[in-house]
Structure formats: structure tokens, C-alpha cells
């Protein structure tokens, strides 16, 4: 820190030798001594003029301060959601001398994978049946949220689809997304827990904002879908509630209440408005989830139990390519009542077992199976496989085998045999 004193020239002349003191060229009343150097005191404006000479320009953003006296560019960086990982070290973004060719042009080798978190459903090939009641519920929820600002009613952000296992909740939803041209961001229950506290909550906010960017940048409808949410957030028996469970529940509740203000850690900006993105979750038992999350103002609940007609139509579309008639499908469904929809898909898959074993034996047996299967990676085609001819008899035979396995699982409890000292209710 420099100290400055104002001293009269006559005082300096009388106390210092003449060879150490040179009087100023222009007459003045006082001299300024700063750090041992005498300077002329030309007035209060001299310091401001000196600072202005050091500025880059009169309107430079580098020296600009905000209303709080903080650096303006620093504040913009703190408010930005770009962590410099999506565009950092990419060819065309920074100088080519820093990218190199030894790892390719892009140093961020997982950039393309990270950016593609949406689902487009190209793999859904075929003529599948969509239950009209199911489609009406999904379409209504999506449309209500996209025009919520035009409605004078409270629109729940989350649609909770729940019901029995294997009833086609996720598959029916994906078929509707494909039919409507929706490109959703999909999460699973396994992403709702992490070894790091707060990571799943941040991931939900990031995926929500990604869906918003799909709407804004690509002009496509999007939504956030979380499959089997009760498996990740539900409490069963004596299961322990973790910090991440609480954070995820709190995050979803906050997004439901403020769907256009979603932060991923940056400082809030007034103009940082996120598009309202509908959320769809699936599960089996929502009574295991924290009650305030599933209340009516936040979540619109939909219990999906396909009717007999829905099951017949879905299974018929599944078997139609095999030449199975609708009357035969009705007979198969009637022979195995109270079964989930995935039972009939597994039934059709079981009929392929004999044909696959025959194909294995025709191509050298199990001993040479590995070389045949790995050749396809080198561009060598596998031997032709002839699908089995589906008949009502083979379908019924496969169905009986599946029911036999189900019965064995339910009735044969080996834990009772291995842990005889435990009570029945503990096993």
C-alpha cells in the first residue's frame, strides 16, 4: 500500500541538500510524495484520468461491474449451466492446435453418447395394438401440460401409471410416443440411487432440462419418463430411507410446483425459463411412495388393468404374423385366464426352443456353437434359421409348461427346508 503526503517546496528546500532536490518546473503550492517519488499534484481528477488510460475501452465488459459491485463476466459464468464439458476440447470450438489427432478430433470421446439421451423407438417395427383408453389418458396428459398456460385450471405435471406386473404399461406408452412423434427422455429406477449424495436429484433436473431443450431446439414434443419409480423410491417392510431417496422425492415435488424454474446448480437468472415438460412415471404400488408426492395437485394417477378385449386384441396383433386366427387367440387367452400380457409373449418365445435346439445340432452341436456365433461380428453370415410353424397345439403346450414353472416357484419354498429354525412369516 502506498502512502502519499502533500509537502511545501520551501520545506523540502530548507531541510534537504540542493543536489537531492530539484524544484518543479511549474509553480505550485504543494508537492505529492508517493513511495519516495515526488509528483506534481494536478488536482483530484488526475487519478481518474490515469485509471481511464488503463481501461481496454470506454465500454469494456472486462471492467464492468453489476449492481452488486461484482465482475459482470464472472456473474454470467456463475449463472451459466455450461460446465465446459459439452463443448470443451472439440474441433471447431477451440484452436486446432489444442485438439490434435492422436485421440481423434474430439478429446471428449463420449460427447455423442452423452448428448443422445432421448429415445426415438426405431426398434418398434410392426403393427401393434394400442388400447384406446390408455392412449386417451396419455394424449390428454401431454396436451394439457403443453397448453397449461392457456387453461384456467391447475394441471398436474406428473402422470402416474400403475397396475399389475407385466400389463404393458411401459410398452403401450412407448407405442403412443412413436405414434405421436414424441421424443422422450427415459429414466429407470436404478438411476434414482447413487453412491454420491444428491447425484440422482441432479440427474433428474438435468434430464428434465434436456427434454426442454428438445422442445426448444428440435421443435419436437418431449417428456420425462421414469419407469418403475416405486422400485427406486418405495418403502417395503424395513427398507431404509436414504438421503438420495429424500432428495429425489423433494426434487420431483419442487419441479411439480415450479415446472419452469429448474436449476442444475448455477446461480438463478431471471430469464432462465424452462419449458413446461410433462412427467410420466410407471409403477406397481404407489402406496409405498411418499404421500405428498402422489397427491392430486402434483400427480394424476391412472390404474391400468387391460380388459379381456384389450388382451385379445394385443395378443392377436402379436400372433398375426404367425398365421394364428383370432378365434384361436381367444381360445388361448381363455385357456390361461388371469395371466399378465407378458405371459403370452413368453408363451410365443417358448415355442422357438425346439427349433433353436435343432438349429444348434445342425451346425455342429454345442461344442462348435461359439465359433458360429462369433463369426457374425466379423461379417460372416450365420446359417439360416427357420422359425417354427405356430399352431394352436404348440401354443397351448408352451402355456402349460409356463404355468407349471409358475406353480413350482410359488409352492416350492426351499428356504423353509434350508432354514428350519425360522418361522414361516420370516421366510
User: Would you give the DSSP letter of residue 215?
Assistant: I
Tell me if 277 sits within 8 A of 213, measured CB to CB: no
Close Cβ partners of 83 (under 8 Å, ≥ 6 residues apart): none
Query: Is the torsion defined by CA of 233, 235, 238, 242 positive or negative?
Result: positive
- Reading the block at residue 111, the C-alpha cell is 460427447
Does 357 score more than 70 pLDDT? yes
d(CA 233, CA 229): 6
Percent of the chain whose predicted confidence (pLDDT) is above 90: 41
pLDDT in tens, 203-237: 999 999 999 999 988 889 999 999 999 999 988 87
Is 63 within 8 Å of 55 (Cβ atoms)? yes
pLDDT at 74 over 70: no
pLDDT at residue 3 greater than cutoff 70: no
Burial class (CB in 10 A: 0-12, 13-18, 19+), 106: middle
> Which H, E and C letters describe 44-65, residue by residue?
CHHHHHHHHHHCCCCCCCCCCE
Q: Which residue has the cell 439421451?
A: 117
Q: Which of 209, 199, 274 is nearest to 244 (CA)?
A: 199
**81-98 pLDDT, tens digit each:** 554 444 445 555 555 555
To the nearest 10°, report the CA torsion of 203, 207, 212, 216.
Answer: 110
Q: Where are the alpha helices (DSSP H) in 58-180?
A: 72-79, 111-115, 132-146, 169-180
Sign of CA dihedral 105, 110, 111, 113: positive
Q: Quick one: which of 317, 371, 374 has its CA closest to 348? A: 317
pLDDT single digits (tens) 153-176: 999 999 999 999 999 999 999 999
- pLDDT, residue 148, reads 93
Residue 23 pLDDT grade (very low, low, confident, very high; cuts 50, 70, 90): low
Amino acid at each position: 500500500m502506498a502512502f502519499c503526503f502533500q509537502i511545501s517546496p520551501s520545506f523540502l528546500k530548507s531541510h534537504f541538500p540542493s543536489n537531492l532536490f530539484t524544484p518543479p518546473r511549474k509553480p505550485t503550492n504543494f508537492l505529492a510524495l508517493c513511495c519516495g517519488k515526488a509528483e506534481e499534484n494536478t488536482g483530484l481528477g488526475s487519478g481518474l484520468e490515469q485509471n481511464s488510460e488503463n481501461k481496454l475501452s470506454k465500454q469494456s465488459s472486462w471492467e464492468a461491474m453489476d449492481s452488486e459491485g461484482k465482475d459482470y463476466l464472472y456473474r454470467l459464468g456463475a449463472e451459466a449451466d455450461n460446465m465446459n464439458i459439452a463443448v470443451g476440447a472439440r474441433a471447431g470450438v477451440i484452436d486446432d492446435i489444442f485438439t490434435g489427432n492422436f485421440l481423434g478430433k474430439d478429446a471428449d470421446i463420449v460427447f455423442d453418447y452423452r448428448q443422445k439421451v432421448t429415445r426415438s423407438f426405431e426398434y418398434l417395427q410392426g403393427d401393434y395394438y394400442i388400447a384406446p383408453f390408455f392412449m386417451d389418458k396419455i394424449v390428454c396428459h401431454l396436451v394439457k401440460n403443453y397448453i397449461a398456460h392457456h387453461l384456467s385450471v391447475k394441471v398436474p405435471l406428473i402422470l402416474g401409471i400403475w397396475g399389475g406386473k407385466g400389463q404393458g404399461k411401459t410398452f403401450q406408452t412407448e407405442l403412443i410416443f412413436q405414434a405421436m412423434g414424441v421424443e422422450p427422455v427415459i429414466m429407470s429406477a436404478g438411476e434414482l440411487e447413487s453412491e454420491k449424495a444428491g447425484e440422482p436429484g441432479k440427474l433428474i433436473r438435468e434430464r428434465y432440462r434436456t427434454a426442454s431443450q428438445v422442445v426448444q431446439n428440435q421443435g419436437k414434443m418431449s417428456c420425462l419418463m421414469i419407469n418403475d419409480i416405486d422400485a427406486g423410491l418405495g418403502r417395503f417392510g424395513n427398507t431404509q430411507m436414504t438421503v438420495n431417496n429424500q432428495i429425489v422425492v423433494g426434487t420431483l415435488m419442487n419441479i411439480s410446483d415450479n415446472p419452469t424454474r429448474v436449476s442444475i446448480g448455477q446461480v438463478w437468472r431471471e430469464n432462465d425459463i424452462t419449458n413446461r415438460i410433462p412427467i410420466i412415471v410407471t409403477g406397481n404400488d404407489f402406496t409405498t411412495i411418499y404421500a405428498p408426492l402422489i397427491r392430486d395437485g402434483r400427480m394424476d394417477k391412472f390404474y391400468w388393468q387391460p380388459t379381456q378385449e384389450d388382451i385379445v386384441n394385443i395378443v392377436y396383433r402379436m400372433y398375426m404374423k404367425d398365421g394364428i386366427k383370432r378365434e384361436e387367440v381367444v381360445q388361448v387367452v381363455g385357456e390361461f385366464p388371469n395371466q399378465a400380457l407378458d405371459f403370452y409373449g413368453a408363451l410365443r418365445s417358448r415355442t422357438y426352443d425346439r427349433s433353436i435346439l435343432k438349429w444348434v445340432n445342425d451346425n455342429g452341436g454345442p461344442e462348435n456353437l461359439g465359433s458360429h456365433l462369433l463369426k457374425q461380428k466379423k461379417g460372416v453370415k450365420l446359417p439360416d434359421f427357420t422359425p417354427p410353424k405356430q399352431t394352436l397345439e404348440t401354443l397351448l403346450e408352451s402355456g402349460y409348461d409356463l404355468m407349471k414353472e409358475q406353480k413350482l416357484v410359488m409352492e416350492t419354498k426351499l428356504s423353509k427346508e434350508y432354514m428350519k429354525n425360522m418361522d414361516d412369516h420370516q421366510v
